Amino acid sequence: MKKEILIERFPENPILTPADVGWVRKNYPKKDWGVLNCGVIFDKKDSHYKMLFRAGAGAFADIGLAVSEDGVNWQAKEKPVLKHSDNNFWYCRRGIEDPRIVKWIDGYYYVFATACSEPDPVTKVTGRIGIWRTRNFLDFEWIAVAFEWEDKNASIFPEPINGWAYLIHRKFPHMWISRTRDLTLRSGWQDTQVLIEKDRFYRSPTTGNLPHKIGLAGPPIKTPKGWLVVTHVVHGKGENRFNRVYSLGFMVLDLQNPTKIKDVHPAPILWPTEKYEMMGCVPVVCFSGATVDLGGDALYIYYAGADTVICGGRLYKKDLPMCY
């Protein structure tokens, strides 16, 4: 019998909560505060981890910054660093959500987040992939919207592949991949195609049902045997949110042709069971936007519990023979 591949939760979980972020309680006078869905990188310039996290209450959200020396203990900054009210784009009028961070070849950190707008009068689209870049995580430059259709859960690969920049994204209910020769990421994406359909992922361990939808977690990680792509997998749907479960899985893509799938793991690597994953603004949720590899024996996975708090865990490389 094969050994289970599981994320080992940090004993310190949750590692960032609404109580740790004063501006959330000040700016959003409601009780359903959430500090959730984050992107994380390690900044070699100052040897600190940097986290961009979504925070807010109800329909509106801004992006905050937290820093850490060890990746486990975090200190949130006093103000949001990317506010939807400061981004004078129709695209962001209702919030900025779920950032993912990649350091690109020009030395900038690129942020891929959901730009939330009022419904388009014609297409009814409310969420698009917004792209920003920054050097210091305090000042952000708007780059572009990737597509004019409903789309989210996006990131580029951290390096060009055969001269192309590749983007993974989620156009409901499957994961898609697109590419461009424009390495500034400004002029649009071509060759958009389905990367993987939702039903290729695992059935629910509790109901046996196929997934309702899937999406990218953290940016792809380059390994000796392929690109490791952690994903979220959603089972169930409907008004009763307890019937809906967000868990984490993964797949491996070919190093030279990322449209080619080498492996799809047949079981979840993180299924919500802890109190901080089961109870909160959106119950029974583990949702990740960050996979970090510093070259040690484990990858760090950062995820939101129940859309309310931020948590983390380790995915050990020795457990990933398809990658290492």
DSSP state, 59?
A: T
Position 244 confidence tier, pLDDT thresholds 50, 70, 90 = very high
Asked if 111 and 133 count as a contact pair (C-beta separation under 8 A), the reply is yes
Which of 292, 294, 316, 313 is CA-nearest to residue 52? 292
| Token pair for 54 | 């979504």
CA 237/CA 205 separation, integer angstroms:
16
Break the chain into its structural domains and give their ranges: 8-319
Supply the DSSP string of 214-263, one letter for each residue. Answer: EEE-SPPEEETTEEEEEEEEEE--SS-GGG-EEEEEEEEE-SS-TTSEEE
pLDDT digits (tens, 9 = 90+) for 125-156: 999 999 999 999 999 999 999 999 999 999 99
pLDDT digits (tens, 9 = 90+) for 71-127: 999 999 999 999 887 765 789 988 999 999 999 999 999 999 999 998 988 999 999
| Triad 71, 73, 74: Cα angle to 5° | 90
CA 151/CA 155 separation, integer angstroms:
12
| Token pair for 201 | 């992922």
Residue 266's alpha-carbon distances to 210, 250, 300, 319, in angstroms, are: 12, 9, 21, 14
Q: Check residues 3 and 70 and name the one with the higher pLDDT.
A: 70
User: pLDDT > 90: what percent of the chain?
Assistant: 87
Name the fold adopted by 8-319.
Tachylectin-2; Chain A (2.115.10)
Position 1 confidence tier, pLDDT thresholds 50, 70, 90 = low
Residue 14's alpha-carbon distances to 19, 66, 275, 282, in angstroms, are: 11, 14, 10, 16
Task: For the chain, give the mean pLDDT.
Answer: 94
